[in-house]
A and B are shown apart, each in its own frame.
Chain A
Amino acid sequence: MVRSIADRAFLPTRGLLEEVGDMVVLTGRTILSALRPPYPYGGELVSQFLFVLRLVWFPLLITTVAISYGAPGIQAANFLRLAGALDRLGGFFVLAAIREIGPLITSTVVAGIAGTAITADLGARKIREELDALQVLGVDPVKNLVVPRFLSLMMVTALFDLFALLFGLFGGILAAVVNGQPLGPFWATFFANTTTVDLWGSVLKSMIFGAVIAIVCCYKGMTASGGAEGVGRAVNQAVVITFLANGTFNYIFTQMLLATHPNILVIK
């Protein structure tokens, strides 16, 4: 009796912790089997890469321009105008777009578009027992399905981060122009504040976002159960977990980057 009450109270938490543990194990196995020969996943990697590229580029373009123009552009411009420092918009962009918004938009859009597709696809295969059949036929699903998705999502998010930065910048320029500002000071403060650390930090962060999306979405797909409904549930949970994980990771990463590179704290 006591046991069943305790079970009811703690089982969900225990279940969650177990899942997180399983995902960590899956990450380890994925990295190991990516490195250990043979490498049968080349074809799947290319096709996944192109698949994600094709699906994501346009929504990402619209989202980055719109959000960069809207959030740091219009809102920050308003605030900077109050301080009479509208020429600092470029510098603010480095902080906002490169360090934070670029990677976050990229990961959100990739998770929402490519991550859900991965979970739905693997989930459907799990339900149809295709994954079981593969394993019995001697095909390791981690090596042949998870590894290519893991690598391609990491590459894609890194690439798309640069893409998002570029179009985010376009949104910023738009904001400066709309505010009747000459672009000279925008670029001046932009370049004064940009360091290589900002750039590789942004790209690295995005890559890890991509890795998290791949692991969570593959895990949720491969463990889906309960028919078509179960696949829907898995997709939903995959997105929720990805956002939570990436949000948490983003905080840790930002703190670590600032702690190890104190010079980028100083706004010029």
Chain B
Amino acid sequence: MATRQQHRPSGHQGEAEFQWHTGVHHPTGVPDAIEFIKVYKAFGANHVLQGLDLGLPEGRISMILGPSGTGKSVCIKHMVGLMYPDEGDVLIEGQSVPSLPDDELFEMRKKFGVLFQDGALFGSLNLYDNVAFPLRQHTEKGEDEIQEIVMRRLHEVGLGDAIAKMPNELSGGMRKRAGFARALVLDPKIVLFDEPDSGLDPVRTALLCELIKEVHAENGGTYVVITHDIMSARRVAEHIAVLWRGRIVESGPTAELLESENAFVRQFLSGESHGPLGMD
């Protein structure tokens, strides 16, 4: 098995902090749809991404796993051009996002469906209009057709009866499922899910995982799912990238990651309390 050894951190505090970051990238056999090349991003003194090298294969369901606060949501915002790297580059299907002019960026974003961490529903619109919004914005479809698509997506996530509710009348989990429906309504080429499973009960989490797999099997496309939940990862991921302290610890096809020798990866994927990852 050939592994591509990527650059190792060098210099001052790097050694100890990044000792588990082998950066090993097991080959996937398909080109990467999304690539991060040595991306650095800091907010003031808070260095979030510290030379992130990441490749997510085209047409697969990839999962980015990592402890809370390591910059997973920040990664997603870089992919859609809502944040720009301080250094480095982000490529979507070979196109450099940070160097796109505004109008091309708006065009490029049409490839994406995004589920934000808290659903990000529009507070002034009811559930139905929220899910219909992308269709009205980007397609010429008539209201009948829109209704059919919206209702199908809402039934899939179990919200068919709540269409007239406003977002502030929904529970966190319901908002998330509604955001999920909205992200998929345009059948986008690349779908980004920021923790679709947090705040859901175990049964709903399992159902949602099934749904992700089904929708992916039906439409294809590159899916990126961010999660803490190892069970979800085992169930749906075809590719896993483990992110910690702003760098990839190890990434590759699920089977290989689950067999990893890396102590951090083993700890994280088995959810144990002893190992390199502590509360700090």
**Residues of A that sit less than 8 Å from B by CB:** 124-125, 128-130, 132-140
Contact = CB atoms under 8 A, between A and B. Distances in A.
Interface string B111-137: 010101110111100000000011001
A137 B134 contact: yes
Contacts of A134: 122
A133 B175 CA distance: 14
B179 to A, nearest CB: 8
B137 A137 contact: yes
Task: Please tell me the size bucket of the interface on B.
Answer: 10 to 19
Interface in B212-259: none
B77 A132 contact: yes
Nearest to B167: A128
Nearest to A132: B82
17 contacts: A125-B123, A128-B118, A129-B116, A130-B121, A130-B123, A132-B120, A133-B114, A133-B116, A133-B120, A133-B121, A136-B80, A136-B82, A137-B137, A137-B138, A138-B137, A138-B138, A140-B106
Nearest to A140: B106
A130 B106 contact: no
Contacts, number: 44
A154 to B, nearest CB: 23
Contact of B117 (A129, A135, A137, A140): A129
A136 B133 CA distance: 12
Interface string B96-109: 00000000001001
Contacts of A125: 123
Given A132-B77, A137-B133, 19 more contacts: A124-B123, A125-B123, A128-B118, A128-B123, A129-B118, A130-B120, A130-B121, A130-B122, A132-B82, A132-B120, A133-B120, A136-B109, A137-B137, A137-B138, A138-B106, A138-B109, A138-B137, A139-B137, A140-B106
Contacts of B122: 130, 133-134
A133 B113 CA distance: 10
B137 A132 contact: no
B8 interface: no
A106 to B, nearest CB: 28
A128 B120 CA distance: 6
A247 to B, nearest CB: 30
B110 interface: yes
Contacts of A132: 77, 82, 116, 120
B137 A136 contact: no
A137 B120 CA distance: 12
Nearest to B130: A133
Nearest to B114: A136
Contact of A135 (B109, B121, B134, B138): B109
Contacts of B133: 137
Sorted nearest first, the 8 A-B pairs with minimum C-beta distance are: A133-B120, A129-B120, A129-B116, A136-B114, A136-B80, A138-B106, A132-B82, A136-B109
Contacts of B117: 129
Contacts of B120: 128-130, 132-133
B118 A136 contact: no
Nearest to A29: B102
Nearest to A127: B118
A87 B77 CA distance: 67
Contacts of B118: 128-129
B216 to A, nearest CB: 20
Contacts of B138: 137-138
Contacts of A130: 120-123
A129 B114 CA distance: 11
Contacts of B80: 135-136
Contacts of A139: 137
Nearest to B122: A130
